[in-house]
Copies of this chain bind each other. A is one copy, B any other.
Amino acid sequence: MFAEENFARDTLTPCGQPDHEDCGLRLVLDRLGEKWTVMTMAELAAGPRRYRVLQRALQGITQRMLTLTLRRLERDGLVSRSVEPTNPPSVTYALTHRGETLAALVVGLVDWSRAHKNGIEASQAAFDMRRDD
């Protein structure tokens, strides 16, 4: 009870609860941690895309992973999937409103990554230097 009374954090702590799992963080982080999720959302942030277009844009992704990634995003209500019963069928994916709000944050991460790429690589190199010597 008094063991962890040092909880003066107001905004930053995940949830301030003993159990961090239920703050919903994992719900998002696990998805974001998947290999193609962020890049897929970034691509969709530019506008709706058809399956094949996405596959071409996300160089290196397999059909299986693209389908899997889109399904999970759809399940979370972040992406919508609309089928036009033409021949051959045409499936278009787009961000939902919820997806767009998350995508906005994701874009922040993307920008940060680009801005700090060199610095991070330098830090890593320095760190490895110190170790390998």
- B-binding residues in A (CB < 8 A): 2-4, 6-9, 11-25, 27-29, 32-35, 38-39, 42-43, 45-46, 53, 56-60, 74-77, 98, 101-103, 105, 107-110, 112-114, 116-117, 119-124, 127-128, 131-132
Which of these, B33, B74, B107, B116, contacts A34 with CB under 8 Å?
A: B33
Complex Cα gap A103–B12 (Å): 9
Complex Cα gap A20–B40 (Å): 11
Q: Are A108 and B110 in contact (CB under 8 A)?
A: no
Q: Are B59 and A14 in contact (CB under 8 A)?
A: yes
Q: Are A75 and B108 in contact (CB under 8 A)?
A: no
A127 to chain B, nearest CB (A): 4
